[in-house]
Structure 1
Amino acid sequence: RPRPNVTWYLDNSVIDESFETRPDGTTVNHLSYPNIGRQHLDARLMCVASNTNLTPPNNKVVVLDVNLKPVAVHIMAKEKFVSADKRYEIECKSSGSRPEAAISWWKGTRMLKRVTKNFSETGNQSLSVISYTPTVDDDGKYLTCKAENPLIPDSAIEDKWRLVVHYTPIVKLQMGSSLNPDDIKEGDDIYFDCHIQSNPKPYKLAWYHNGNELHHNVTAGIILSDHSLALQGVSRNLAGDYTCMAANTEGRGTSNHVTLRVRYAPICATDREELLGALKHETLQLKCEVDASPAAESFHWTFNSSGEQTELPSRLHSSETGLSRLNYTPTSDLDYGTISCWGRNAIGVQKSPCIFQVVAAGRPFALQNCSVSNQSADSLHIECIEGFDGGLPQMFLLELVEVPVLRLVRNLSLQHPPVQFFIDNLEPGSSYRIILFAANAKGRSEPVIIDDITFKGVAKYTGVSNVMNVPLSPVLAALTLTVAVLFAVVCIVLATIYRRHATKNTSKKLKTAKSAQLTSTPDCQLDSGVHHQTHDPNGIQTPLVEGGAGGVLGRRGSPTMGSEPPDGDETDPDVIPNQYERRPPKTTLPTPLFRSPSARLIHRNGGEHLLHEEERHCDGSSLASLTGLNTEVHHYSFKPSKQISYATLGRANNSSVTSTLSPLSQQPSTATLPLPSLSSMSVTGVGAVGSLLSSPASQSLVTSTLNEYRFRPEVVTTSNRIQESCI
């Protein structure tokens, strides 16, 4: 008392103060609050009763728990495309529902049952994960994630994802609809259609015949267009299985096989003639096998000998599908020849027959394509291809011969092909020759010889080595190699310096010797020597000079020995004098005087040829003193030098002379001038002098003789070696 006031508060705000007092003394305040929303969740609704300020009010509190619809649903990570037959984990998240929303997955109008997980993250948020494997049929369909509060009718919301499914091309091949696959003959035109279902579009389309790719070739009648293949004028070679293949980024798709059957007349199964050997009265069974579509129905056989073709009776052969056999027995020489077989089917008669050459039996043909393979240290393997057996059973022989002693090491034989021999336990380090034959009752074939089969031997150590095996480090090896290279370089440099120094010394010595010879007297231009006679193969007798004791060999052709003409002029400036190097002489005879013929001979009384003066040594002693030292009688023929020849032939030189020495102990050689006056003027002994010719007839004879021998080579003997440089 007094009666209380009843008031409604919402979060400390008065929302209703109206109340009524009932007869029984109670006070009632009915609250009706419209539009409870998401903002009222967990709000405090309080009813307060108070009657005086002297006592505290009484109250009751109600906390609002509001059921809420889901406000959002999303499929996470929507891909631009997915690949068929590949597994994906897809998430869908919902929020705003209280209690948490129930999430379901739909593909088109069909609900998906394979949900991996549903769970609530925080309060009014839900998450669902589905394991999904798209198929080719899913391309273009929608994948839907639906969220719904089961306590609130019509509270479902959804999110959709349009699927773009990529997949390997699906290819189907069929022959042109206007064609009859069972009635295609050679020469017909056909085409194929390739139907492709693909996402993404294919970037390649290929055609295959029996597994081999076809290419556009108008000449061969193969035409490739967008999705079709045309074959113009088909032949039996184009029969077989056809496929088409399309490729995109997902992979390659191959179509079904379509078999093309081309009908054609019979042809031989083998494109070569058969050679058969037979004895007289020996029966041969000839097998004629043909390839045809449809199969050959009948056959006939013909025989051709010396250009006349006859039909063989049908009783001699039997036929079956695609095959005919003929029993043929030659009885005379006229029964050997060519037998032909012809087949026939629904398309026509065979154009080119199958040919069999029947010949008299003989020796087999030689083996072919023999080769050595798998050669090891002591074994090898030989393979050959057998040839024609000669009409008789043949066997195969191998002979292994050791060379160069030609000792037969092995003798092997085979009774039947294939021709394969294996030889082992051969001696290392030996060389062999292989001889291969085929043989039958008529004899052996021509041999096949394989030479130069060598087995390298392996080094054998019979003693025990006392040298320790010390491992060689890479650093030590590199150091050793470096020292070796440096040593080689130093040796090369020293050798080069030595050779240059030796060349300079040799040049200086040659110049000194040359100047000494040029300053010597005319009578002593050459060192002491003994003339020896050598015989040129052309019949020319050439005097050679050896040096005396302690002497230096003279150089023939040098400026001090007839390289200048008698008048001192150089008749041929283009001729470079040669230097001759001679080894030390073996004799120690005194040195006779050597003069040019023009210095030794003088012109006297127009026709006589006398000695100019007594020949002497460089020391003044007479040549007659040499008789006691050398009892051998020497004969000398003077070989005219090139300079004297030029001087004689090139100008009118009345003082030029040519001397000829005739032998006393030998017959005159072809180099001796055949003049009667010369034979009487011959001089014997060491250093003999020829006669002087002054008559015109003698001069012409001398000129012809010089022309004959002016360019003949000089003979080099074993007793007097000459090293000559020709420039």
Structure 2
Amino acid sequence: MALHLLSGVFVAVILFWSTCAHAATSLNSLALVLNGPDVANYGSTVVFKCSWQADDLVFRILWRIQLAGSSVPLEYTLKNAAQSEPVSLSNAGSDGPLQGEASVDTRNNFSTLTLRNVSFVDGLYTCVVSSVTAEKLTNKSLRVVAPPDQIISRVNLTHNNSSFLTNGSTIGPYLEGTGFEINCFVAWSRPPAKIIWYRKDLQGQLYPMESQSGPQKQQMEASGGWRVSRSMYFRLDSRRLMGNVLICQAENEATSQPVQTAYRLDMLVPPTNISLSSLNGVQLREGLLYQVNCTVWNAKPFATITWTLDREPISRFIVNDTLPGETEGTFSTRSVFTYSANPDDNGKALSCIATQEVLTVQRRGMSNSTILNVVYSPRNVMTSKSHLSLVEWRLPETDTLGGINCTADANPPAQYVWMFKESVIATGPTLVFGRNVTLDDAGDYFCIASNEVGQTNISMQVDVQYRPYCSRCANASDPCLIGAAMEQSQSVTCDMDASPAADLVYMWNVPLNETTTDNALAIPTNLDTSSSSSASINYTVRSSDDYHALACWARNSIGLSEQPCYFRVVPAGPPHPPENCSIITVMSSGFSLKCRPGFDGGHPQKFVMSIWATGQDADNSALSYKISPSTSNKALRSQDAVVMPDVRENVFPEWLEKGLQGGKDYRVKIVSRNEAGNSQPVFLALRTLKPDDSTIGLSTTVVAAIAGSLGGFAFLILLASVAFLCVRRRKKGECKSRRENTYS
């Protein structure tokens, strides 16, 4: 009986687990997400968060940590219960480097693993979640890095002479031309820090010192960090390095900015130069006092100055002081010697000597000397000509006589320079042109005499005379146009430049043969002869033969103008109307129109088109009309409305217009326009195609083009044409209105 009971229980259990397994395969759903960093800084806090979604009950969370270099993983188990307490990593039976805790949030379905003050705990971190029907895991690798720390440097002058430096320390002072080795140490970093040496100049510019640096050395410490060092040999080969900064930079992937230490360079340098001032270029007079300045520049330490006159020491009338040097960290020493001029000292050497006891004997001395002399700047500067008149395209007469000479009294002897228009044209006391002169050679010439004391100059005026030339209308192929009406007297002015200009005589001529380019000219009979020798004439057009070319010549004492000024007399007035205007194509929404330009009236012309919708056929509801100001013209009726006012201006009389209504009557006006006014208008009439017409053809509604007054015969022919159209269309009212507009 008991055996039967146990068998029944066993079968029930088997059936229960079979049922659960079947349910798990059909309903189980468990998803995991593990969030956390891949890389962490040494000493920081790291949090891993393991979140899950499950269809059934999660009852256990296991954190497994496999540290790098360890064969045994660390495991921390949490129950998914509201009363579950955090598990301390250091209390889990392990004496490893882990600090922190593992916890679970039952309500929000996640567990966290918190590592505090992390050391080098690189490894694989795994989260295992178990539910009633499933178990899943996910993992993440962690790598711990450490930025460079404890950077120090050591300077080695010799094997037995070295010193350690801290950030901001000064290296030196060392003599210019010497060198030293400096070694930079990074006590701890992971991964090994990369060390780079830089030099920063006084302007803040950084220069990498790779060529001066040796290879990097590194060694792993027992703690897991790395000790790194790199040396550099630096030579103080120039004083420009004084005040520069040597920088040791160290960085690895744990640093957002390089870690660095900086050391300022200090040097001992001799003076760059010694200068004497106040005597050179100064006239020394007996009994007068002069202050002579001697400056020793850019030395460290500062130099001591002594004076000698003709090798005899001077100890009286001397004042010394020290100033900051031009180079960073250096000093300049200035000494002022008050000298009483004595003729016996003329030609003697006055010397200034600088010494630096700290430097070697070969480098500590520097001197400068000056020879005392009575000097004065150039005076009594004179030229052999004070005013010079030349002729264009001729060699100056002074060139054949040896040129123009400049002289001056000076000690030391003067140097001479000839200048014209701020440019040097000759060096030496003599000016020779050496060529035929042009108009560009006119102006003020300066002879400048100078020596080390000063300079003096004198000017000479040069005039260049030339025969007349035309300053306007000088192009024969593009003469100046003179618009003149019949029987109208028009003033024509000839603009000639010449020197001299007081004796200019003008000649006005007409070409004998305008088809040739020779200079055979005749005086026109219609000139006002009383003014034919002046710059302006009055020209009267008495017939069409008087519309031709004019030429103006001029003469002075130098000669006759090489080319005349060119003019052409043309009829003046408004342009003629455009010709042969016709509608080329008509569409339902517009048309194209083309004319041939008429005579332009002697001025450039443009063409203006206006469009009106006739009052009988215009659809006022669809168009916004305005009454044109020109509707007083009899060619337009008072009920006609402007569609496009006078803004359709073209250089050529051609238009393509769109935007009109289909099946409507329109009237077009074309006008030529120049600066003298408008031409007589030309009127055209047309009817646009109906919208359902698919073809575009030549307009059959063009009635006429009226311009100005028409001859009687043309007028009758036009009347007959209009009558024929009226009979054909059988639209009496329309024909009447068109007749009124067409023959205005």
TM bucket, shorter chain: 0.3 to 0.5
Larger radius of gyration: 1
Structure with the bigger percentage of strand: 2
- TM-score, normalising length from structure 1? 0.32
Q: TM-score, normalised by structure 2?
A: 0.31
